[in-house]
């Protein structure tokens, strides 16, 4: 028996090596990493430039506490990241992961409200379903009842509005009226809560783990910004999964006419080389907080030079290799190929995505959009079959009465068409076995 435990008792194969889009276990079996870990390893495994940059940094220093030293690496990465943001997002605060980034964004918003005489604002509205992290603060805004309900007495669950899942509600995602329909629900919620109590609206531009690559309907992103402006509500964009090129732009929200006040990132920024995240805020928010005595928040490992050196090299690779453009191009091809599988397999009820954040969803009936019976445990069964065949895909089922059983196909952004062939072939064979 191992001393280690994560979720259950099951043991996984032991990872030996990883290079590019492939991983090998200690038995020598090869896997194609069709999920980039958990949408983390955007530039692929063992990138030599990143490893060299980390080696150079390790030889200089591996830690300097942020209240004692700035480091060249953290300064350089902050500058690089700010340069990739919309122009008003200039101030960068480093953390070590996605939940920390989400909490930092919420606390920045709250401290801005306190610093500017808006202390009545504290509610962060988010969406149902959604996933924003597993710490108690991030769970309060996570719309995923089975994860958050057990801890509700220990935190303060925040209000939720429905995620714009037009495909389940029988609405046309290309029709602006659809986007406005879901945005209206945000406005109604703000009014019901009392606008003077609402601090922020938190969302992913393209839904990740909880909604399976959910692309917002036309008009939605523009309208939610207007509503936030109208009621003095801040817009926090959770780019933990969508950021760092995953959707074909550096930030997912760049696809739409919207302007976040705060962006939070993680996963693809450290790209699996080091734990790293960032909260990037409008200086209009940061300055009053600093004037009022400083941002009362921070983590010991935040901004450590090794993580920042890795992050800087990752961002440089994304730019040097044109990985945003590759994600856009390969993503389009992947979605077209997934549509091909949908024609072949009746059990696939929907295909969606943006860039290389793509998914298909199992349904028992395409017309009624009825999910597969939960007892089948479809997503886990499918993931296990693919894994057995050496293809890693990522999956979740929402456990709160919503549909689910979506399979996310999110390979590293360095994929070629030959890799796509391999992924589609693996999915095809796995689907064949799954539907037998
Ligand atoms: N936000 C989003 C959108 C995520 O997908 C995740 C992780 N899946 C998180 C936040 C939390 O990140 P972490 O697991 O690094 O704390």
Domain shared by 120 and 206, yes or no: yes
In a domain, 4, yes or no: no
Domain end residue (candidates: 320, 347, 368): 320
What is the mean predicted confidence (pLDDT) over 269-291? 98
Name the nearest CA neighbour of 331 among 310, 359, 311: 359
In a domain, 9, yes or no: no
Question: Rounded CA gap, 130 and 237, in Å?
Answer: 13
CA of residue 380 to ligand 1 center, whole Å: 20
User: Is there an atom of ligand 1 within 6 Å of 209 CB?
Assistant: yes
pTM of structure = 0.97
In a domain, 396, yes or no: yes
Question: Rounded CA gap, 165 and 163, in Å?
Answer: 6
Nearest CA to ligand 1 atom 1: 132
User: Is there an atom of ligand 1 within 6 Å of 269 CB?
Assistant: no
| Number of C-beta neighbours around residue 366 at 10 A | 13
Question: Rounded CA gap, 381 and 374, in Å?
Answer: 12
Give residue-wise pLDDT tens across range 391-414.
999 987 664 555 568 999 999 999
CATH number at residue 238: 3.40.640.10
> What residues make up the domain containing 108?
50-320
- Per-residue tokens: 83: 């340069």
Domain shared by 151 and 221, yes or no: yes
Domain end residue (candidates: 277, 301, 320): 320
Domain shared by 200 and 212, yes or no: yes
| Number of C-beta neighbours around residue 360 at 10 A | 29
Domain shared by 280 and 393, yes or no: no
Give residue-wise pLDDT tens across range 42-95.
999 999 999 999 999 999 999 999 889 999 999 999 999 999 999 999 999 999
Q: What is the pLDDT of residue 397?
A: 67
Q: What is the pLDDT of residue 403?
A: 52
Question: Rounded CA gap, 177 and 303, in Å?
Answer: 43
Domain end residue (candidates: 320, 342, 373): 320
Domain shared by 281 and 171, yes or no: yes
Site to substitute for ligand 1 among 104, 267, 275, most atoms within 8 A of C-beta: 267
Higher-pLDDT residue of 281, 406: 281
Domain shared by 85 and 62, yes or no: yes
Question: Rounded CA gap, 14 and 7, in Å?
Answer: 16
User: Is there an atom of ligand 1 within 6 Å of 238 CB?
Assistant: yes
Higher-pLDDT residue of 119, 401: 119
In a domain, 242, yes or no: yes
Q: What is the pLDDT of residue 6?
A: 78
The dihedrals phi and psi of 388, each to the nearest 5 degrees, come to -55, -35
Measured CA to CA in angstroms, residue 360 lies from 232, 296, 338, 406, 427 at distances of 37, 42, 7, 6, 11
Give residue-wise pLDDT tens across range 191-231.
999 999 999 999 999 999 889 999 999 999 999 999 999 99
What is the mean predicted confidence (pLDDT) over 267-292? 98
CA of residue 386 to ligand 1 center, whole Å: 24
Confidence label for 257 from pLDDT (cuts 50, 70 and 90)? confident
Q: Which residues in 164-184 are b (16+ Cβ under 10 Å) and which e?
A: bbbbbeebebeeeebbbbbbe
Domain shared by 255 and 390, yes or no: no
In a domain, 340, yes or no: yes
Supply the mean pLDDT for the chain: 95
Q: What is the pLDDT of residue 55?
A: 98
Per the structure, how many domains does the chain have?
Answer: 2
User: Is there an atom of ligand 1 within 6 Å of 97 CB?
Assistant: yes
Domain shared by 120 and 267, yes or no: yes
ipTM: 0.99
User: Is there an atom of ligand 1 within 6 Å of 99 CB?
Assistant: yes
Give residue-wise pLDDT tens across range 231-255.
999 999 999 999 999 999 999 999 9
Give residue-wise pLDDT tens across range 41-50.
999 999 999 9
User: Is there an atom of ligand 1 within 6 Å of 103 CB?
Assistant: no
Confidence label for 181 from pLDDT (cuts 50, 70 and 90)? very high
The tokens 């430039």 sit on which residue?
Answer: 49
| For residue 119, pLDDT beyond 80 | yes
In a domain, 26, yes or no: yes
Q: Determine the atom of ligand 1 nearest the C-alpha atom of 38.
A: 8
CATH number at residue 26: 3.90.1150.10
Q: Determine the atom of ligand 1 nearest the C-alpha atom of 275.
A: 15
- Per-residue tokens: 206: 């393209």
Confidence label for 146 from pLDDT (cuts 50, 70 and 90)? confident
Domain shared by 35 and 153, yes or no: no
Q: What is the pLDDT of residue 5?
A: 81
Domain shared by 58 and 75, yes or no: yes
User: Is there an atom of ligand 1 within 6 Å of 132 CB?
Assistant: yes
Measured CA to CA in angstroms, residue 315 lies from 103, 145, 154, 249, 358 at distances of 23, 35, 38, 13, 22
Domain shared by 279 and 144, yes or no: yes
Q: Is the peptide bond before 129 cis (omega within 30 degrees of 0)?
A: yes
In a domain, 331, yes or no: yes
User: Is there an atom of ligand 1 within 6 Å of 142 CB?
Assistant: no
As a whole-number percent, the residues of the chain with pLDDT over 70 amount to 98
Q: What is the largest CA-CA distance in the chain?
A: 65
In a domain, 1, yes or no: no
What is the mean predicted confidence (pLDDT) over 363-368? 89
Q: Determine the atom of ligand 1 nearest the C-alpha atom of 130.
A: 3
Give residue-wise pLDDT tens across range 339-348.
999 999 999 9
Catalogue the long-range contacts made by 347-352 (C-beta closer than 8 Å, 24 or more residues apart).
347/372, 347/431, 347/434, 347/435, 348/431, 350/167, 352/167, 352/212, 352/213, 352/214, 352/215
Domain shared by 200 and 326, yes or no: no
As a whole-number percent, the residues of the chain with pLDDT over 90 amount to 87
- Per-residue tokens: 253: 């929200």
């Amino acid at each position: 028996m191992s001393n280690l435990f994560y979720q259950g008792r099951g043991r996984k194969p032991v990872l030996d090596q990883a290079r590019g889009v492939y991983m090998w276990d200690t038995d020598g079996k090869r896997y194609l990493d069709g999920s980039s870990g958990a949408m983390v390893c955007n530039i692929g495994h063992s990138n030599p430039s990143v490893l060299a940059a980390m080696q150079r940094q390790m030889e200089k220093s591996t830690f300097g506490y942020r209240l004692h030293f700035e480091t060249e690496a953290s300064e350089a990465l902050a500058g690089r990241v700010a340069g990739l943001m919309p122009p008003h997002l200039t101030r960068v605060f480093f953390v070590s992961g996605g939940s920390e980034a989400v909490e930092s964004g919420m606390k920045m918003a709250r401290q801005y409200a306190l610093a500017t005489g808006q202390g009545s604002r504290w509610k962060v509205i988010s969406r149902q379903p959604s996933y924003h992290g597993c710490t108690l603060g991030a769970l309060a805004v996570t719309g995923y009842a089975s994860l958050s309900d057990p801890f509700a007495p220990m935190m303060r669950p925040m209000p939720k509005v429905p995620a714009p899942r037009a495909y389940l509600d029988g609405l046309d995602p290309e029709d602006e009226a659809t986007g406005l329909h879901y945005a209206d629900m945000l406005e109604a919620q703000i009014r019901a809560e009392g606008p003077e109590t609402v601090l922020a609206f938190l969302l992913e531009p393209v839904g990740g783990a909880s909604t399976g690559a959910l692309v917002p309907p036309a008009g939605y992103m523009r309208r939610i910004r207007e509503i936030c402006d109208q009621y003095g509500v801040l817009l926090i964009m959770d780019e933990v999964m969508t950021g760092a090129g995953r959707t074909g732009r550096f930030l997912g929200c760049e696809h739409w006419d919207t302007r976040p006040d705060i962006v939070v990132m993680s996963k693809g920024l450290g790209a699996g080389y080091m734990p790293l995240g960032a909260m990037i805020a409008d200086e209009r928010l940061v300055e009053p907080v600093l004037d009022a005595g400083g941002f009362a928040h921070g983590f010991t490992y935040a901004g450590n030079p090794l993580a920042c050196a890795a992050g800087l090299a990752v961002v440089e690779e994304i730019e040097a290799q044109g990985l945003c453009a590759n994600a856009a191009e390969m993503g389009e091809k992947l979605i077209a190929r997934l549509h091909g599988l949908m024609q072949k397999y009746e059990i696939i009820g929907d295909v969606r995505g943006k860039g290389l954040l793509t998914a298909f969803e199992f349904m028992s009936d395409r017309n009624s959009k009825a999910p597969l019976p939960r007892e089948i445990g479809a997503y886990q069964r499918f993931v296990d079959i693919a894994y057995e065949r050496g293809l890693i895909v990522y999956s979740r089922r929402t456990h709160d009465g919503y549909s689910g059983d979506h399979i996310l196909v999110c390979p590293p952004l360095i994929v070629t068409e030959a890799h796509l062939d391999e992924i589609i072939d693996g999915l095809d064979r796995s689907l064949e076995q799954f539907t037998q």
